[in-house]
Amino acid sequence: VNGVQSFQLSFAVDQVMDGMVDTWVDASRQIDAGELAGVRLGLTLVSDDRVTATGDGRLRQTFECDIARRTRS
């Protein structure tokens, strides 16, 4: 997609099943569905136009969103 420099997806893992996130892992890693506590989405957008004289001149904005899993079985 034009303007998207980076898209990251991570899983929140609850390894001891106490309702608390123990660690975050890259989404490419296989985890047990019962350990999945949520997901984190990360997105970095970059401008098409050069607007500054430093670096490559493009503006960047990063957004992150954590989404908790509502129910577990």
Measured in degrees and rounded to the nearest 5, phi and psi for residue 58 equal -100, 145
Q: What does 10-31 look like in DSSP terms, one character per residue?
A: EEEE-TT-SSS--EEEETTS--
Q: How large is the average pLDDT for residues 7-23?
A: 94
pTM assigned to the model: 0.78
Residue 45: band (very low, low, confident or very high) from pLDDT cuts 50, 70, 90? very high
Is 50 exposed, middle or buried (CB count within 10 Å of its CB: 0-12, 13-18, 19+)?
exposed
Are 9 and 39 contacting, i.e. CB atoms less than 8 angstroms apart? Answer: yes
